[in-house]
Structure 1
Amino acid sequence: MKVLVAGANGQIGKQLVDKLKNSGEHTPVALVRKQEQADSYAETGVETVLANLEDSVDKLTEAVKGNDAIVFTAGSGGSTGEDKTLLIDLDGAVKVMEAAEAAGIKRFVMVSALQANNRENWNEKLKPYYVAKHYADRALLQSNLTYTIIRPGGLLNEPGTGKVSVGEKHDRGYIPREDVASVILAALDEEKTYNKAFDLVSGDTPIEEAVKSV
């Protein structure tokens, strides 16, 4: 499966590209917005496409063509303002969904945020971020795409444990970014994750087993 990773320069995105490349089953395509990022990936033999999530849907459609699946793990980052959160985490995500539909790509994996689906459980300090994630997820639910929405807890830079907990409603929890990338990889062609959304934190269940239990 040829998998376009939107947000390939991010911390989860970089790990996912590596895992896809080493999987023996998938071929990653890194969507990045800077030439130096593309050059860096090209040095490792990874195909890249230059695009900006603030581009038009038509431009993004051209950028995503030829892929079998899209993983959206892009984000505006903590150093930008609420305007970029809207433009990237919400509108950027929706435009990539529209581009996927226009390009005939059915499979779409979204990296969201823990309990983004439940307003009562949002972190007040990150409310604009949660609003963006909530409505991007809702747009995906209403699309014609074969979606999986993964809602990870607090992200850690520790090595992955390979064991997680998935479900509909988790209290606050944490998870290494490496394990999030591994769950995305496992979910891509696992039919039990198709058209499903779930919270994801560290736990006691091996990842392959966890994604089959969704």
Structure 2
Amino acid sequence: MRVLVVGANGQVGRLLVADLLARGDDPIAGLRFSEDGEDWEDQGVTVRQMDLLTKPEQLANVMLDVDAVIFAAGSGGRTKDDMTLLVDLDGAVKTMQAAEIAGVDRFLMISMLFAEDRNRWADPLKSLYVAKFYADNWLVHQTTLNYTIVQPGALSFHAGTGKVKSDPLAVGSIPRADLAAFLVAALHAPQASRKTIPLLSGETPINQVLDRL
């Protein structure tokens, strides 16, 4: 499967590209600056420049031969609220619109745990919760894309275990490596289609969690 990873040089994005390669998929590294893709090109990964601040029609040109999109881009924790809205909200929506223009059906979105529940939004991250809330809603209600939304808990740098849980009431964290592994597995799991999935570290192998959806 040819998969465009939007934000391929991010902490999760890099893991996604590596996992897709290991699985035998054909990842495309979507980067704001193509010159940042030399490491990927050395590994035989196609690099495509895509600026989320541009128009959907321009973003669509990057997706014309793509089977699926994983949106792993983010403005970063140190940016101001305006960039959070421009990248995490509007950039995400424009990527969805571009996918529809290009005829891409499958779209995976990294969201946040409790993004749909305003009562659970923590003040330091409130602008990011707002962005994820509205981006997720656009994906579900304003597109025809075959989506999977994954809502991870707090992301850690711990080694991945390959074991997770999906509990809408639980609080916790998850290694970035396990989030990436889950997304790649969900990409190939028909039962993950049109699902919003909270995700935390757990004791159950990823494939078993997907089988229970």
TM-score, normalising length: structure 1:
0.97
- Any gaps of 5 or more consecutive residues in structure 1? none
1:46-98 Cα shifts (integer Å, max 9, x gaps): 01101111111111010122100000011000111000000000000000000
d(CA) in 1 for partners of 2:176, 2:119: 25
Number of the residue aligned with 2:203: 204
Number of the residue aligned with 2:180: 181
Number of the residue aligned with 2:98: 99
SS in 2 for 1:63: coil
- Any gaps of 5 or more consecutive residues in structure 2? none
- Structure 1 counterpart of 2:204, one-letter code: T
Number of the residue aligned with 1:80: 79
Percent identity among equivalent residues? 44
Q: Is the 8 A contact 2:153 2:171 kept in 1?
A: yes
d(CA) in 1 for partners of 2:14, 2:210: 21
Number of the residue aligned with 2:7: 7
- Structure 2 counterpart of 1:84, one-letter code: M
- C-alpha displacement of 1:195: 0.2
For residues 125-204 of structure 1, the aligned pairs below 5 Å read 125-142=124-141, 143-167=143-167, 169-204=168-203
d(CA) in 1 for partners of 2:9, 2:27: 13
Q: Is the 8 A contact 2:34 2:47 kept in 1?
A: no
Number of the residue aligned with 1:18: 18
Runs of 4+ in structure 1 off by over 4 angstroms are none
SS in 2 for 1:41: helix
Q: How large is the Cα RMSD of the aligned pairs?
A: 0.9
Number of the residue aligned with 1:53: 52
- C-alpha displacement of 1:198: 1.3
d(CA) in 2 for partners of 1:119, 1:139: 17
